Structure 1
Amino acid sequence: MDAIWGAETGAVEWVQGWGSWLEPIMLAITALGSKTLLIAVLPLVFWSVHASLGARLTVVLLGSATVNGVLKSAGHGARPYWYDPGVRPLSTESSFGIPSGHAQTAVTLWGYLAAAAARPRVWAAALVLIALICLSRIYLGVHFFTDILGGLAVGALMLWLVVRYEHRAVAWWRSRPLLVQAALAVGLSAVGPLLVALVQATVWSGWTVPEAWTGPVPSDPDADALADAASLSGALLGVLVGFTLLDRRGWYSADGSLITRAARYITGITGVVLIFVVVKLAFPASADAAAEYTTFLGATLWASFGAPELFIRMRMADRERDGSEEPATAAPPA
Structure 2
Amino acid sequence: MESFFSNPTLFSEDILNRMHIFAGPWLDYIMLSITTAGSVTFYTLALPILYWCWDRKKALYAGATFLLAMSLNDILKQIINHPRPDPAKLLPGLRELAYRSSPKGPGFPSGHAQGSITFWGTLALMERNWTVTAAALLMIILVPFSRLYLGVHFLGDVIGGLIIGLFCLAVTLPATSITENYYRTVNEAIIISALMIIPYLLYKIMPGDHINSTMGTISGFLIGAFLAKDRIRFNPRNRLRYQLIKIAVGVAGFAIISFGLKRILPDIPIAGYFRYWCIGFWCSFAAPSIFGRIKALRGTVEAI
2:251 corresponds, among 269, 283, 290, to 269
- Partner residue of 2:159 out of 143, 149, 154: 149
Aligned counterpart for 1:301 among listed residues 268, 281, 295: 281
| Contact 1:230–1:292 (Cα < 8 Å) also in 2 | yes
1:55 aligns with 2:63: no
Do 2:265 and 2:271's aligned partners in 1 also have CA atoms closer than 8 Å? yes
1:65-104 correspondence to structure 2 within 5 Å:
65-81=70-86, 85-87=88-90, 88=95, 89=98, 90-104=100-114
Structure 2 CA distance for partners of 1:255 and 1:277, relative to 1, 3 Å: same
The one of 247, 261, 270 aligned to 1:279? 261
Query: 1:208 — aligned with what?
Result: none
Picking from 12, 19, 35, the partner of 1:15 is 19
Match of 1:310 in 2: 290
Task: State the distance in 2 between where 1:252 and 1:191 align.
Answer: 34
The letter for the 2-side match of 1:23 is D
Larger mean Cα displacement after TM superposition, 34-43 or 184-193: 184-193
Return the match for 2:7 from 4, 7, 12.
4
TM-score (norm 2): 0.87
Where do 4+ consecutive residues of structure 1 move more than 4 Å? 119-122
Q: What does 1:225-240 correspond to in 2, within 5 Å?
A: 225-226=208-209, 228-240=210-222
The CA distance in 2 between the partners of 1:44 and 1:120, in whole Å, is 22
Q: 1:110 to 1:237 in 2, by over 3 A?
A: same
Q: 1:170-226: per-residue Cα shift (whole Å, max 9, x none)?
A: 1223432121111211233135423433xxxxxxxxxxxxxxxxxxxxxxxxxxx33
Tell me the amino acid that sits aligned with residue 85 of structure 2: P
The residue type paired with residue 226 of structure 2 is: T
Inter-partner Cα distance in structure 2 for 1:192 and 1:23: 39
1:1-334, aligned counterparts within 5 Å? 3-4=6-7, 8-16=12-20, 18-21=22-25, 22-81=27-86, 85-87=88-90, 88=95, 89=98, 90-119=100-129, 122-190=132-200, 192-197=202-207, 225-226=208-209, 228-284=210-266, 287-318=267-298, 321=301, 327=304
Which whole-Å CA distance do the structure 2 matches of 1:94 and 1:105 have between them?
A: 17
Question: Is 1:250–1:320's contact at 8 Å kept on the other side of the alignment?
Answer: no
CA contact (8 A) 2:52 2:247 kept: yes
In structure 2, stretches of 5+ residues that fail to align are none
Classify the secondary structure of the residue corresponding to 2:141: helix
Q: Which runs of 5+ in 1 are unaligned?
A: 198-224, 328-334
Amino acid in the other structure paired with 1:28: S
Please state how far the C-alpha of 1:91 moved relative to its aligned partner.
Answer: 0.9
Write the deviation string for residues 296-315 of structure 1: whole angstroms up to 9, x where unpaired: 11111111111111122233
How much has 1:320 moved relative to structure 2? 7.7
Change (3 A) 1:104 1:192: farther
Identity among equivalent pairs (%): 26
Rounded Cα–Cα distance in structure 2 between residues aligned with 1:39 and 1:259:
22
Q: Say which structure is richer in helix.
A: 2
Shift in Å, 1:86? 2.5
